[in-house]
Structure formats: structure tokens, C-alpha cells
Amino acid sequence: MKLTYKEWRDGLLVRSPNWLGDLVMTFPALMLLKRLLPEYCALSVICPASLAPVLDALSETVDEIVPVADPHAFPTNKELVPLVHRHFGAGVLFNNSLRDAVVMRRLGVKPLFGAAARGRSILLREPLHFPKRVSGALNPPHQALRCLEVAKRLEIDDWDGVSMPPLHPDFDAARFEEAFGRPFPSGPVLAVAPGAAFGDAKRWDAASFHAVAEHWQKTRGGSVILLGSKKEAPICETCADGLDPALTLDLAGKTSLHALMFILQSAAHCVANDSGIMHLCAACGTSGTAVFGSTDMAATAPLSKQWRVLYRKEPCSPCFKHVCPLGTRACMKAIKVEDVLETLPTA
């Protein structure tokens, strides 16, 4: 559907996903939608307040951010004030929520584009029907391509499979030293993200992350920065135990998203599970190694040719479970420390 300049009116309203990794996988679509808009039109995004800093750093792409405190409830009237009496030419839903489709329609947004889900097809223009996920098998296409398919209903250009919109975090080396009481390391930094909010089934062993970090310190003389949420702090603490304290900084639960993006952009390499940090680091342009097992590398691999994905197919994987149903975590244990070490940069 091609809109004329007049039909775009106040621009485009987008509802983002609720998880960091899912948000990053919308970046190619957001970038191309922004290019599609006339100069006088804004690209506005409704998003969870916790993710607003990432969109703030996407300043060349996103013009307006409308944060909501509870992404699983109807936005409050106060939260929707910036959108009242606006006249958007179209709306795009990058989540599967019926509630958010209703919110956009109440705001007078039509036409509305998104995937057919949860009985909302009647509210959408040309709803997209994607195949259901099959457990125990890889499920292409990639989630980023699904987002692009939704955006293509507005006749965006084709994505080249490489380009990503730039991130400009409001953080620098001076603020790093002020926040953490020490300068950013001068040598090569390995960012290590041993957590994953989805659950234990998708986490490589903390002892294995520790071994990789120790190898980095001993062979490269480089520093290691451990990253994760406050809930993942115990995992990071286990990884840090026994590492050279002069070359180790455990920042789990201590970074803002702007600080996290600065660290990821400044690192030489990253080792992570399938997680939000993995996706964000790939978007920051830093190389990395991702360990996959219970989740689907075909659908959620990092969007970067600089990343290596390690995966060993087991009969039950990917199972998409929070906790391994068999109690063995065989798919994660199939990836050895040596496999990861082979992917690390040597200089």
C-alpha cells in the first residue's frame, strides 16, 4: 500500500515488542520505514518504558517515543496524551497483542498492519499469516524478516541484509569512569553475558563462560566485563570468581541501557547466550559468539555477519522451554569451551 504525501498526515505510529532482543530485530524495518516517510512526518513508537533508552539512542530513525509503564496493560490516559488528536497515516504492530491493536484504533489510526494473532485480524489491513512454530525443529524465516514483511505492506525498499540504523548512546568514557569508579579498560575488552531472561534452559554453563574469560585474560592480557540484569548478578558473580581482579569488572545489574550500549560498542568481542544483550551487541557493530540450544537460531540469530552462532542439534532441540524438560540441558552442554575459544579474535 503506497500512501501519498497527503495521506501520511502526521506520520507513522509503531507499537514495539516488549523484549530487548525482539526490539532489536525490528531495527531493519524501522530504518526502512523511516526512509519511506516524507520529511515532515514523524516515526512515533509506543514502547515499554524500560526499552525507551534504546529507541532514544536510535535518534536518526525514531522521532518520538511514547513510553508505557506496564506493557501488558492498556496505557493510561496520561501516557497517551502525546497521541491524542494526532492524525497518523498508518500504524504498524510489531507485537501480537489484540490490546495494542484496539489502542491504535481508539486513537483513530487506520490503516493498521501486523501479523494475524489473537483474534485481531478484523482490525488489520491485510493481516499476515505466519506458520506456527514447530518444537524440535528450526523455524525460518528470521524474526527480523517477519517484521520486514509487515513493513512491506507499506511498500518499503528491500533490506540489503546487512545495514542497521546507528545507535548513539548518551554515554562516554568520562561518564564510565564517573559511574564505575575506574577508567574504561585500555586493552582489548571481552564482554561476557552469561544470563538469559527467558530461563535456565538457554544458558550455557557459568563455568564455561568463566573458562573463556580466563583464557582471554591469560592469552590476550585483556579485560573482561560481565554484563546482565540484577537478577543475573549471581550468575555473573560465579563467572567472575577466580578471574584476575585487575582485569575483571562485574557490572551485572549496575548499567543503564545507555551505559550498556557504550560498553558493547567499545568491546573487542562479546560472548553471550541467545539474549537481549546478544542482539543489542550485534546492533552496536561489535563482533561476537552466541551459544544456542533450546531456542531457534534460524529465527533469532544475531543480525550481524560479525557474529558466530554455535549450535549442535539434539533430537529435542529447539524446545523453547524455560527449563530443560529432560533435566540434562544436552543441547547447551554439546557446545564446548574449545568451540567458543576458536571463535575469539586473536588480535
Confidence (pLDDT) at 199: 87
Confidence (pLDDT) at 184: 98
Confidence (pLDDT) at 152: 96
What is the distance between the alpha carbons of residues 212 and 210, in angstroms, rounded to a whole number? 5
Q: Do domains 5-154 and 174-341 have the same CATH topology?
A: yes
Confidence (pLDDT) at 335: 98
The 10s digit of each residue's pLDDT in 259-298 is: 999 999 999 999 999 999 999 999 999 999 999 999 999 9
Confidence (pLDDT) at 81: 96
Parallel, antiparallel, or unpaired for β 269-273 and 248-250? Answer: unpaired
Contacting residues for 50 by C-beta, under 8 A, at least 6 apart:
none
Which CATH class, in words, describes the domain spanning 5-154?
A: alpha beta
Percent pLDDT > 90 in the chain is 94
For residue 182, the 8-state DSSP code is: S
- H-run or E-run covering 248: strand 248-250
The 10s digit of each residue's pLDDT in 7-44 is: 899 999 999 999 999 999 999 999 999 999 999 999 99
269-273: strand order across its sheet: 248-250, 223-226, 189-193, 269-273, 288-291, 307-310
pLDDT band at 5 (very low <50, low <70, confident <90, very high): low
Q: How much is the CA Rg of the chain, to the nearest whole Å? A: 21
The 10s digit of each residue's pLDDT in 295-338 is: 999 999 999 999 999 999 999 999 999 999 999 999 999 999 99
The 10s digit of each residue's pLDDT in 101-135 is: 999 999 999 899 999 999 999 999 999 999 988 98
Contacting residues for 328 by C-beta, under 8 A, at least 6 apart:
none
pLDDT at 229 over 80: yes
CATH number of 174-341, picked from 3.40.50.2000, 1.10.287.990, 2.60.40.60, 3.30.750.80:
3.40.50.2000
Helix axes 143-151, 27-36, angle to 10 degrees: 20
pLDDT at 340 over 70: yes
The 10s digit of each residue's pLDDT in 186-226 is: 999 999 999 998 889 999 999 999 999 999 999 999 999 99
Parallel, antiparallel, or unpaired for β 307-310 and 11-15? Answer: unpaired
Write out the DSSP string of 310-347.
Answer: E----TT-S---SS-TTS--HHHHTS-HHHHHTTS---
Question: What are the two backbone dihedrals, phi and then psi, of residue 93, each rounded to the nearest 5 degrees?
Answer: -105, 115
**What are the extents of the domains in the chain?**
5-154, 174-341
Write out the DSSP string of 153-170.
Answer: GG-PPPP-SS-------S
What is the distance between the alpha carbons of residues 75 and 81, in angstroms, rounded to a whole number? 10
Among residues 75, 71, 112, the alpha carbon closest in space to that of 91 is found at 112
73-81: long-range contacts (C-beta < 8 A, 24 or more apart)? 73/99, 74/99, 74/103, 75/46, 75/103, 80/107
Confidence (pLDDT) at 347: 77
For the entire predicted model, the pTM comes to 0.96
Average pLDDT over the chain reads 96
pLDDT at 342 over 70: yes
Least confidently predicted of 144-153, 156-165, 194-203:
194-203
